[in-house]
């Protein structure tokens, strides 16, 4: 099948997280999108900074760049803004205001915010009103799953709402082979911290380390609270069961995904994790939680297991089940390959083209 490219790319301006050398899901999505534009007009609104006070001047510079492009490039018709919650939402609002009301462009707000619903519901009346004004005056809201579409429909009177699946590249000629080892290889990739549930997983393993020793190896890749992570592994004598690889990307990430048996992400809130879709594209069984759009891609007992956040005992029960039933690991991996197909770039870019064309 021929590669699907974005039609009339010169008419689109994308705004979002700096995607070059990214360390997060939004950056990964934008990086993948960029490959389907012959001309990728892009303004980075945010880039992680060593010193936090540098975030503001970086953002102010981005606003000037946005204004200059919209002033000088008359071909641009649509500004496609990728955002999350909290500070990201504040930064994107002013860029929305410039694009919509100063330069009279159509604006898409593409919501990736895993904590958006929590942020909105815990906010005061003034902030809720501001968020509503933002979303209800945007020409189109794009979200990642039916669950997120329900959140927008229930709380805002948006002009147009579209579910666009997160995007992942298809792995060529992939076949799921039977497990070769008696040790179940478990993989976690993501931010090291409480929100992603990694310490729940470690606590569960620590509580059952005698029964799991010699049967399980958990590999962790990511950044964040790495000191706390390493201290926990050392203090609970988990070195035989857990290894930390640091931040992984590119060939190293592909190698880990190829070699693992099960991908695990016991998060407390999510949009629709790119890491789960990537693991599914590699034909992996999944253990995750019933938050965000995850239950729409991880089907209970079909391609994995879906737990309640913080349920350590059930997590260990499911891990033990997969240790004891290697054929289930294989069948779940095969199911993942079938279930992830709607998220392949050839399908997502086709839908994105439709969004752009209809808005033009």
pLDDT for 83-98, tens place per residue? 999 999 999 999 999 9
Looking at residue 173, its pLDDT comes to 65
* Distances in whole angstroms, Cα of residue 336 to Cα of each of 180, 232, 288, 340: 19, 32, 13, 6
Residue 70: predicted pLDDT: 98
- Domains parsed from the chain with CATH numbers: 9-167+344-359 (3.40.50.2000), 184-341 (3.40.50.2000)
Length of the chain: 360
- Residue-level pLDDT at 175: 55
By the 10 Å C-beta count (0-12 exposed, 13-18 middle, 19+ buried), 126 is classed as exposed
Count the neighbouring beta carbons within 10 Å of the beta carbon of residue 133: 12
pLDDT values of the chain reduced to their tens digit, one per residue, 360 residues: 468 999 999 999 999 999 987 766 799 899 999 999 999 999 999 988 888 888 999 999 999 999 999 999 999 999 999 999 999 999 999 999 999 999 999 999 999 988 999 999 999 999 999 999 999 999 999 999 999 999 999 999 999 999 999 999 988 766 555 666 789 999 999 999 999 999 999 999 999 999 999 999 999 999 999 999 999 999 999 999 999 999 998 899 999 999 999 999 999 999 899 999 999 999 999 999 999 999 999 999 999 999 999 999 999 999 999 999 999 999 999 999 999 999 999 999 999 999 999 999
Of 44, 69, 72, 79, nearest to 58 (Cα)? 44
Beta-carbon contacts of 61 under 8 Å, excluding residues fewer than 6 positions away, are none
Bridge partners for 285 per DSSP: 262
Burial (0-12, 13-18, 19+ Cβ within 10 Å), 291: buried
Angle at 35 between CA 175 and CA 46, to 5 degrees: 115
Q: What is the pTM of this model?
A: 0.90
Give residue 180's pLDDT: 62
Q: Identify the helix (H) or strand (E) that includes residue 348.
A: helix 345-359
Give residue 350's pLDDT: 96
């Amino acid at each position: 099948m021929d590669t699907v490219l974005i039609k009339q790319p010169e008419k689109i301006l994308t705004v979002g997280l700096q995607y070059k050398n990214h360390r997060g899901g939004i950056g990964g999505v934008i990086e993948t999108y960029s490959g389907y534009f012959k001309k990728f007009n892009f303004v980075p609104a945010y880039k992680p900074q060593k010193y936090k006070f540098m975030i503001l001047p970086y953002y102010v510079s981005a606003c000037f760049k946005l204004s200059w492009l919209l002033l000088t490039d008359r071909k641009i018709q649509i500004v496609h803004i990728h955002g999350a919650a909290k500070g990201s939402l504040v930064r994107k609002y002013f860029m929305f205001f410039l694009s919509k009301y100063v330069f009279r462009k159509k604006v898409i707000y593409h919501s990736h915010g895993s904590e958006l619903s929590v942020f909105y519901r815990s906010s005061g009346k003034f902030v809720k009103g501001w968020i509503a004004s933002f979303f209800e005056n945007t020409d189109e809201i794009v979200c990642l799953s039916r669950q997120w579409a329900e959140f927008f429909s229930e709380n805002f009177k948006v002009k147009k709402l579209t579910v666009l699946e997160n995007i992942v590249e298809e792995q060529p000629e992939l076949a799921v082979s039977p497990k070769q080892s008696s040790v179940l290889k478990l993989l976690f990739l993501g931010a090291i911290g409480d929100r992603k549930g990694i310490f729940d997983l470690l606590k569960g393993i620590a509580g059952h380390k005698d029964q799991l020793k010699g049967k399980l190896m958990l590999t962790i890749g990511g950044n964040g609270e790495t000191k706390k992570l390493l201290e926990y592994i050392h203090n609970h004598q988990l070195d035989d069961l857990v290894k930390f690889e640091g931040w992984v990307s590119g060939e190293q990430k592909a190698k880990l995904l190829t070699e693992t048996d099960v991908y695990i992400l016991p998060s407390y809130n999510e949009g629709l994790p790119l890491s789960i879709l990537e693991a599914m594209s590699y034909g992996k069984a999944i253990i995750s939680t019933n938050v965000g759009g995850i239950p729409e891609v991880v089907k209970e007992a079909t391609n994995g297991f879906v737990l309640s956040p913080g349920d350590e005992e059930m997590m260990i029960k499911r891990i033990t089940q997969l240790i004891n039933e290697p054929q289930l690991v294989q069948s779940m991996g095969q199911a993942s390959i079938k279930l992830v197909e709607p998220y392949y770039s050839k399908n997502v870019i086709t839908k994105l083209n439709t969004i752009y064309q209809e808005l033009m």
